[in-house]
Chains A and B, each alone.
Chain A
């Protein structure tokens, strides 16, 4: 089997003059979980749509996409037969029961009814929905609907699972449950492409991430490595504006610290935890000051900026 599951080269997509995706390129190896990160409007969903044949690239002469060797422009059906797609918006059949939603969908894959019944049972228990088999969709919570949408995408035992913001709007319990299931799928050899704007999600489940902004790839790498390479180890957040006076950015810069002020909060970044503690000794007693390790969110904000764009 080819090592590369998904190959994307020079993907461009414009909507009515607005560039949604701009020269995006990446590869996903078999069994890998790749995360697309970026603020709303960064082009994550659009990129996923083109890959799964739900949208057309601007110029297929330039753009080259292969999913298990198939071209979404001409062979979208083959790609969809091998993949499971969970879109951002739940699009279950609200007029059918949980079980019927899956039974109807199994027909789309040409799964014989008897086998489908077994598969449905298996998937309902996998997503912990076995008690809800007969429920109507509007009786389900948002978390259950999302789990059912994921179950539906697994009916055909996909080799690639595409998840567009799988846990947006869900509570922490459901989120962790979904992460566990995603890890389980990956352990079973499923290749994953996930978009998210939750840094923790990316950190928890992705082997590799791409941070996108304004349709472009900004950086790419393993989460830990990106942290090491692109951002300091620690940050101190100072919430009181009076404290601003206590710090002199230039002096800090000479000591290898980076300062950022945004909406009344001062952020001081450094690789040296001790230096930060010393700096904030007087302040640390206060609840308005906190030293913590830098996380992907800090990296994300450093790269994509703190100011909202027009699509957020």
Chain B
């Protein structure tokens, strides 16, 4: 048993892929409970807000309220799924199950581990935004062909919130503290990023604040691809914001988690 046919270190893409593969395997091990809700959630949102509230509203930036809402919902679900994964999920793997410790016994570095984690968050973002899109397509709320590109926005949004959530997780030592992140940061962001109502009639200060929030940019991108006639050069700025955000928080998050894993 002591020959050395497996003694070579796999290259970086293979290492990251193997981490990603682990997450996919675990995620699909609970197939039904993980695959069903992403489709149910947008249905509820579209029914409650889109149909329920939307009946009383007309003419939202030239489209029906339900279409206005549906055009940004892909990124909010991407945000929430990536954030759950990289807060509670990451924390449990880090502290309770010690899955990371096990994985680090193999030729995997902490950077590989976190990159795999972040890309998985992106994958979840893609999958969840895809679920919303599918519902919107089937119900005929969204018909614009470019909306297929929203899958990519969902992926980026997942990566962005994956990075930021891991950054948050690197500070957390008590799992209950994530409540602050969800109620104090993500929930207000959901409402003040132009997802449920446009920001242009809000006080200027809120408009400026919203520009600082990551979801605003993801929502604007999503909407640009989902609704006809609003795409313009501005989306480059949003894309740039997202990429810079990912690079900054991704780098810091990986560094900080490493300090918790390597004693």
Interface residues of A (CB under 8 A from B): 15, 46, 49, 52-56, 76-78, 80-82, 84-87, 89, 91-96, 100, 103-105, 107-111, 149, 152-157, 159, 185, 188-190
Interface residues of B (CB under 8 A from A): 1-10, 14-15, 17-19, 21-22, 25-26, 29-30, 97-99, 101-109, 262-263
Q: A81-B107, A95-B26, A156-B6 are in contact. Are A89 and B98 (CB under 8 A)?
A: yes
CB of A188 within 8 A of CB of B25, answer no
CB of A76 within 8 A of CB of B1, answer no
Q: A80-B105, A110-B6, A154-B1 are in contact. Are A94 and B97 (CB under 8 A)?
A: yes
Q: Which 8 A-B pairs have the closest CB atoms?
A: A110-B10, A108-B106, A91-B102, A85-B105, A55-B263, A107-B18, A91-B98, A156-B6
CB of B263 within 8 A of CB of A54, answer yes
CB of A110 within 8 A of CB of B8, answer yes
Q: What residues on B are CB-neighbors of A153 within 8 Å?
A: 105
CB of B105 within 8 A of CB of A52, answer yes
- Shortest A122–chain B CB gap in Å is 9
CB of A108 within 8 A of CB of B107, answer yes
CB of A81 within 8 A of CB of B7, answer yes
Determine the residue in chain A with the shortest Cβ distance to B102: A91
Q: What residues on B are CB-neighbors of A110 within 8 Å?
A: 6, 8-10, 14, 18
Determine the residue in chain A with the shortest Cβ distance to B20: A107
Q: List 25 A-B contacts (CB under 8 A).
A: A52-B105, A54-B262, A55-B262, A76-B109, A77-B107, A77-B108, A78-B9, A80-B108, A81-B9, A82-B4, A95-B26, A95-B30, A96-B25, A96-B26, A100-B29, A108-B106, A108-B108, A109-B6, A110-B6, A110-B8, A156-B106, A157-B3, A157-B7, A159-B2, A190-B1
Q: Which of B7, B25, B101, B107 contacts A89 (CB 8 A)?
A: B101
CB of A96 within 8 A of CB of B29, answer yes
